[in-house]
Structure 1
Amino acid sequence: MSRSINEVAVAALSRREHSILEIRRKLKLKSFEEDEIDACIEKLINNNLLSEERFTESYINMRKRRGYGPGRIALELQERGIDELQFGDFLDRNNPDWHDVMRQQYCKKYGNRLADDYAEKVKRAKHLQSRGFPLDWIFKLNSMDLDEY
């Protein structure tokens, strides 16, 4: 017996928050029709089961806990159909917590010692940049004692 479109959508949402684009993709994969998908999404939104605001906040917190920076998270949110106007407030790049996340990520990978030679500094900077931290933050981190940062 196959599940209804509402059952499929609610089952996905019961596991974690989703963006509208993610739910749309999952329902398309299950071969539901476009008009069915649109109606289902509208119903989920109206019943407050699907919320891009909740998804955005949840996603940012989850990725931040895993050591990713604001640049990478912003890109991932855009890939999931969230517009920068929707996540700008949640992804406050001026929040000092981001610097703590970057320092923790650095220490987790490299310990409490800064790189001595240029090649190692470049390698470490590339790692932090790939995790979504801005270069100016990385350069500032590389130029001072980790405890001061």
Structure 2
Amino acid sequence: MAKPQMSLKARALKYLSSREHSRLELGRKLSRYAQEGDDVEALLDWLEASRFLSQSRFSESLVHRRASRFGNSRILLELQSHGIEGEALSEIKSNLAQDEASRAKDVWSRRFRQPPADAAERAKQMRFLQQRGFSHSAIQAAMRAAEAEADEE
């Protein structure tokens, strides 16, 4: 016996029960299953009106998941790819900027554990942090803090 087809609304609620989704991402996922007569945009509007779908909750969730591993530019780029723009993005940017240097230091210490021995090693460590999306000033602050800790020991 064939499984009954899951409705678009049930599928959307299933996706949202596992984790937060952006409107753009959920719309993309649901459009694969939309049949003739299904209105994905109307469903997304209903989900937002019913507060099942929230861009602010999605943004907070993504920032929370990514902040311990990535820098501001990488997180903001990912938010933009999910359709988060304008005032919400600038507010998130200002909140992230406050602790970027300490997050860079934490990422650095988990990966390297000891300060660079020479210029080549320093460049390698700085490139690692740069690839993770940290700003130049945060990378410099993290490297200075790591070297200061090594001098204290």
TM-score by length of 1: 0.88
The one-character-per-residue Cα deviations of 1:51-93 (angstroms, maximum 9, x if unpaired) are 001100111011113x111111000111111114322213324
1:86 matched residue in structure 2: 88
Q: CA deviation at 1:130?
A: 1.1
Q: CA RMSD in A?
A: 2.0
* AA matched with 1:76: E
Q: What does the per-residue CA deviation read over 1:14-68, in whole Å, with 9 as the maximum and x for residues that have no partner?
A: 0000000001110112244596101100100010000001100111011113x11
Mapped partners of 2:119, 2:84: distance in 1: 38
After superposition, the Cα gap between the structure-2 partners of 1:19 and 1:32, relative to the gap in structure 1 and judged at 3 Å, is farther
With 1-10 and 77-86 compared, the bigger mean Cα shift is at: 77-86
Query: What is the CA–CA distance in structure 1 between the aligned matches of 2:136 and 2:144, rounded to whole Å?
Result: 12
Match of 2:45 in 1: 42
Q: What is the distance in 2 between the residues matched to 1:33 and 1:48?
A: 26
Equivalences, count: 145
Task: Decide whether the 8 Å contact of 2:12 with 2:30 is kept in 1.
Answer: yes
Unaligned runs of 5+ in 2: none
Partner of 1:2: 5
Give the share of equivalent positions with the same residue, in percent: 30
Aligned pairs for 1:31-70 within 5 A: 31-32=34-35, 36-65=39-68, 67-70=69-72
Match of 1:20 among 20, 23, 26: 23
> Given the two structures, how large is their TM-score scaled by the length of structure 2?
0.85
Aligned 8 A contact 1:69 1:102 in 2: yes
1:126 Cα deviation (Å)? 1.1
Runs of 4+ in 1 over 3 A off after TM superposition: 31-35
